[in-house]
Amino acid sequence: MTFEEFGLSPEILQAIAAMGFETPTPVQVEVIPRLLKNRGDMVALAQTGTGKTAAFGLPILHMLKHDLRSPQALVLCPTRELCVQITRDLEAFAAHTQGVRVVAVYGGADIQNQLRALKRGVQIIVATPGRMLDILRRGRADLSGVERVILDEADEMLNMGFQEDLEAILAQTPDTAHSLLFSATMPRHVAAIARKHMRDPEEITVGHLNAGAETVSHECYVVHQRDRYATLKRIADYYPDVYGIVFCRTRQETQTVADWLIRDGYNADSLHGDLSQTQRDSVMKKFRSRALQLLVATDVAARGLDVTDLTHIINYNLPDELGSYTHRSGRTGRAGKTGVSIVIINMREKGKAHQIERMINTEFAYRTVPTGREICGAQLLNHIARMKSVELDPKQIDRHLPQIYEALEGMSWKEVIQRFVSLEFETLLKYYQGAEDVRPDTGDSRSPARDGHQRRERPSGKGQRAERSGARLSVNLGTADDLTPRKLTGWISRAGGQYVRIGRIEIMDRRTVFEVPVDEAAALAQALGNTSFDGRTVRVEAAGSDRPRKPSGGPPRGKAAAKGKAPSKGKHHPSKRKPRGR
């Protein structure tokens, strides 16, 4: 089947060709001909990312009466982000069609602009239910000429409590309007809306009912509750090029996990309902541009975030409504790419995992948490692969080669590689050296499971204390002094006169706290105190009773940062994460 065979207008065909659409997706094959033939109401069970917007958008545009400037189609969707995205897509589909007017109507933005746009005359309204109802109550939109109503992500709209708003809006659309409801799942409340507001809807399912896209593989780690965060970290370390969303259950958990990741040096940030719209926009922009590798989010906040090339979805905790798992996993494996949806659970949650397996009609691949050695191996290979694929610029490099060859003279290629690896991975290798592996949760509560120097997770964010693997020393140096983990470890080893195994490092602006073996702490503190760092006099003291404040699961972002309480960002993870300009 081709787009031409649908009989769409040449202008629409030109626009979608320019967008790179070559063949219709399965949901488009099912939906487009039906809508073009006006075949009555329809319920389509389809996943996020399957091309739903074009499935309803192209026929709507094709059938639009361009000379009329009154609403002919109403698209309702759960979030502002999705609303903007659908509007953007419709405008792109209409790029070569004259006189198409689409307006996005959503909360959290100036209503006056939206009212003015409506007054100028529009043919398609894309709206979130709350704002649409507000506008209807003000008498500022007339839905009496609407011929098509699309309920996109209906299950999500109902999960978000929009049932009454939806009903009130639908009551203002003509009985003759055709409705099309999209949903990833078909829980009872969605079926009830369909029964009440649709006439004998034809039901189609694209792919398996509730199944994730086949391009997604599903993996599960069963670990002790206390190792959940350590597991997340190890997964992120094992996949250095990870670009994904970490889903949490609550806003507080989202903030806590994001704070911990930031503190541990990952390019991460949080997205949840406690943030202002400006903060959310800024986080999403950073994530879209890949300045962030990991976005820690709640289900609701991540809706409508249109990023097609996510490598991983990580379920830090399973959603309360297990049906949301398909929404989550559907965010990866999009646009023909493959993706991995990872679930971290404890033994008690195995029943839920089985429920999900039945729902998606696929079994999880049960995995053990990567060991330190596996992580180091994966990172080394990743680094080598990047080295192999780097574009060479001989003009720039050749002139320096004679000096480099001279400097390396007498060194075998094996030694060069050994030194290169030590230099690049010194901190990572040391970090994982001797770190105990995260063991699977087998239901035996006595089995120890720890992650070397990492502290354990306390999801509530209350009473957090680091897992002590050694003594903690504090030094009056920080990022303001250009201190990095590598400089710190080098300085400590030099001062100690031998290799010192260093645990967790927290670098703040003007102060750094690090862990060292208990029996070496006193001697080290003294040795370090007798040195200077880049000409600065240093003061080293025990940091036991004077712990720096930990991120506590939900201080308001702006305020905490302003008071200097936020953890320092991206400074001290052993894997030295940097935004990768992909």
CB of 337 to ligand AMP, least distance (A): 10
Name which of 52 and 573 has its Cβ closer to ligand AMP: 52
Give the number of other CB atoms < 10 A from CB of residue 445: 8
Which stretch in 21-29, 272-280, 539-547, 553-561 sits in contact with ligand AMP by CB under 6 A?
Answer: 21-29
In angstroms, rounded to a whole number, what is the distance separating the alpha carbons of residues 222 and 220?
6
Q: At 399, list the tokens.
A: 């002139």
> Nearest Cα to 472, choosing from 509, 525, 429, 426?
525
User: What would you measure as the largest C-alpha separation in the chain, in angstroms?
Assistant: 86
Name which of 333 and 551 has its Cβ closer to ligand AMP: 333
CB of 82 to ligand AMP, least distance (A): 9
Size of the site for ligand AMP (CB under 6 A): 13
| Residue whose structure tokens are 């404890």 | 346
Q: Kindly tell me which residue out of 12, 54, 294, 369 binds ligand AMP, with binding defined by CB under 6 A.
A: 54
Q: Kindly tell me which residue out of 31, 34, 44, 51 binds ligand AMP, with binding defined by CB under 6 A.
A: 51
| CA dihedral for 239, 242, 244, 247, sign (positive or negative) | positive
Using alpha carbons only, give the angle 191, 246, 555 rounded to the nearest 5 degrees.
Answer: 105
Which stretch in 49-57, 295-303, 375-383, 437-445 sits in contact with ligand AMP by CB under 6 A?
Answer: 49-57
CA atoms in the 13 A half-sphere facing the CB of 554:
13
Q: Kindly tell me which residue out of 49, 244, 461, 551 binds ligand AMP, with binding defined by CB under 6 A.
A: 49
Which stretch in 19-27, 252-260, 356-364, 534-542 sits in contact with ligand AMP by CB under 6 A?
Answer: 19-27
CB of 318 to ligand AMP, least distance (A): 24
Q: Kindly tell me which residue out of 32, 35, 42, 53 binds ligand AMP, with binding defined by CB under 6 A.
A: 53
Terminal-to-terminal C-alpha distance of the chain: 34
How far is residue 75 from each of residues 82, 156, 191, 305, 508, measured CA to CA in Å? 11, 14, 19, 17, 48
Q: Does 335 bind ligand AMP (CB under 6 A)?
A: yes
Q: Which residues, 270 to 329, sit near ligand AMP by CB under 6 A?
A: 308
CB of 216 to ligand AMP, least distance (A): 14
Q: Compute CA 147 distance to the chain's CA centroid, rounded to the nearest angstrom.
A: 37
Give the number of other CB atoms < 10 A from CB of residue 441: 23
Name which of 335 and 385 has its Cβ closer to ligand AMP: 335
Which stretch in 50-58, 114-122, 190-198, 559-567 sits in contact with ligand AMP by CB under 6 A?
Answer: 50-58
Q: Kindly tell me which residue out of 52, 218, 511, 572 binds ligand AMP, with binding defined by CB under 6 A.
A: 52
Name which of 53 and 231 has its Cβ closer to ligand AMP: 53
CB of 49 to ligand AMP, least distance (A): 5
CA atoms in the 13 A half-sphere facing the CB of 182:
27
Name which of 49 and 333 has its Cβ closer to ligand AMP: 49
3-class secondary structure, 46: coil
Q: Kindly tell me which residue out of 12, 15, 25, 79 binds ligand AMP, with binding defined by CB under 6 A.
A: 25
In angstroms, rounded to a whole number, what is the distance separating the alpha carbons of residues 215 and 142?
42
DSSP single-letter state for residue 95: T
In angstroms, rounded to a whole number, what is the distance separating the alpha carbons of residues 496 and 182?
65
Which stretch in 17-25, 194-202, 341-349, 357-365 sits in contact with ligand AMP by CB under 6 A?
Answer: 17-25
CB of 201 to ligand AMP, least distance (A): 20
> Are 157 and 129 within 8 A, CB to CB?
yes
In angstroms, rounded to a whole number, what is the distance separating the alpha carbons of residues 428 and 264?
13
Which stretch in 48-56, 204-212, 453-461, 472-480 sits in contact with ligand AMP by CB under 6 A?
Answer: 48-56
Which stretch in 44-52, 243-251, 544-552, 553-561 sits in contact with ligand AMP by CB under 6 A?
Answer: 44-52
CB of 50 to ligand AMP, least distance (A): 5
3-class secondary structure, 424: helix
Give the number of other CB atoms < 10 A from CB of residue 437: 20
3-class secondary structure, 37: coil
Strands 532-533, 536-537: pairing is antiparallel
CB of 301 to ligand AMP, least distance (A): 17
What are the backbone dihedrals phi and psi of residue 301, each rounded to the nearest 5 degrees, phi first?
-65, -30
Q: Which residues, 521 to 580, sit near ligand AMP by CB under 6 A?
A: none
Name which of 25 and 270 has its Cβ closer to ligand AMP: 25
CB of 327 to ligand AMP, least distance (A): 12
Q: At 175, list the tokens.
A: 């009985």
Q: Note the residues at the interface with ligand AMP (CB under 6 A).
A: 21, 24-25, 28, 49-54, 308, 334-335
